[in-house]
Amino acid sequence: METRRVTVSREHNRGFESLVTETLRGAGDFPFRLDNKVVAITGAGSGIGREIAEVFAAAGARVRTLDINLGAAEEVAQIIRNRDLEAAAFECDVSSGDAVNRTFASLFCQDRVHILVNNAGIAHVGNIEQTSEADFEKIFRVNVAGMYHCMQTCIPNMVRRGGGVILNMASIAATSGVADRFAYSMSKGAVVSMTYSVAKDYISKNIRCNCISPARVQTPFLDGFLAQSYAELEKQMFDKLAASQPIGRMAQPREIAMLALFLCSDEAAFITGADFPIDGGFLTLRG
C-alpha cells in the first residue's frame, strides 16, 4: 500500500494558526451557547484549557479557571474579564484530593457547577524500561487521580442540582500505540475508561460524560516537551510530529475548544459515553 508523504513546517502550521485564532472580543457569535452556565476548567492557565476558557466565556459561560499555576489562571480570567465577560481564577493542584475538595467547596458556596472540563495533564516520554516508578506515579497522580478527584467532588453536586456535563481530555495515545509514551498512554487509557464508567453510572441522573482524544496540538505542552527531549533538534522534531498527522499539520487549540464547546452545549444532549478523536486522520488514515 502506498503511503502519502506530507511535507510540513512550523511555518505551514503557523499559516493555519492565523485562520483559526482570530481575536475573541466580547460575547462571540458561536452556533452553540452556554449562557449563564458555570464551567470549571482544570489546567486553564495554558494551551487547550486556556482556549476552552476563552471560547466558553465568549459563548456565554461563567468561567472558573483552575490551575496549579495561579498566576496563569488569573491571567486568563483577567483577559476574559477585560472583554466584559465573567471569569474567576482558583489555584488548584488536581493531584491532591484535599486541594480539589477545598477549591470546589469554595466554588459550590457561590454556584452550581453545570460543566466540568477535566483538562489538566502532564507529559512523559519513555518506554517501560525508561519509566521510573516515581515518573509512573507522578503521571498517574496528575492525569488519572486528578480527573478522579474532580469528578468525585463534582458529581454529588451535579446530582443534587439536577445534572451536568463532564468533558475529559484524553489523547489518541489512549487507543493507539505511540512510541515512547508508556506512562502517558496508560494514563489516557484510564481517562477513556473512567469516562465510560461515569457516563454509564450517571446516565439516569442527567449527567453526560464524554472525552476528546486529540493528536498533536500546538501548545506550550508540546513546545516544552520538544525543548526538554529534543534540544537542538526541535525544528526537525516539530516537523516530524506535524507530518505524523495525515492532514499534514498539528491542531490549533481553538479547534479542540470548538469541539469541546459543542459537546458541552445542549445541542449535544444525545451524546454521552463517547470518545471523540480530533486527530487530522491519525487513527484511521495512516495506511
Q: How far apart are CA 185 and CA 277, in angstroms?
A: 15
Least distance between ligand NAD and beta carbon 246 (Å): 16
Distance CA 74, CA 67 (A): 9
Give the shortest CB-265-to-ligand NAD separation in angstroms: 20
Q: d(Cα 36, Cα 17) in Å, to the nearest integer?
A: 29
- Out of 184, 196, 202, 230, pick the active-site residue: 184
- The minimum distance between CB 146 and ligand NAD, in angstroms, equals 6
The footprint of ligand NAD (CB under 6 A) covers: 42-43, 45-49, 67-69, 72, 92-95, 119-122, 142, 146, 169, 171, 214, 216-217, 219-222
User: Among residues 112 and 138, whose Cβ is nearest to ligand NAD?
Assistant: 138
* Rounded alpha-carbon distances, angstroms, from residue 130 to 133, 189, 231: 10, 19, 19
| List of residues 6+ apart from 70 with CB closer than 8 A | 89, 90, 91
Complex with ligand NAD: residue 167 or 268, whichever CB lies closer: 167
Helices (H), the chain: 10-20, 47-58, 70-82, 97-110, 133-139, 146-160, 182-201, 220-229, 234-243, 253-264
Sign for the CA dihedral angle at 262, 166, 102, 133 comes to negative
196 is catalytic: no
Q: What are the grid coordinates assigned to 13, written together?
A: 502550521
Q: Cβ 120 to ligand NAD, closest distance in Å?
A: 4
Minimum gap (Å) between residue 99 Cβ and ligand NAD: 8
The three-class DSSP label of residue 259 is: helix
| DSSP-based three-state secondary structure for 84 | coil
Burial profile 73-83: b = 16 or more Cβ within 10 angstroms, e = fewer? bbbbbebbeeb
Task: List the grid coordinates of 52.
Answer: 476552552
The string over 233-246, giving b where at least 16 C-beta atoms fall within 10 Å of a residue's C-beta and e elsewhere, is: ebeebbbebbbbbb
| CB of 204 vs ligand NAD, minimal distance in Å | 29
Q: Give the residue numbers marked as catalytic.
A: 184
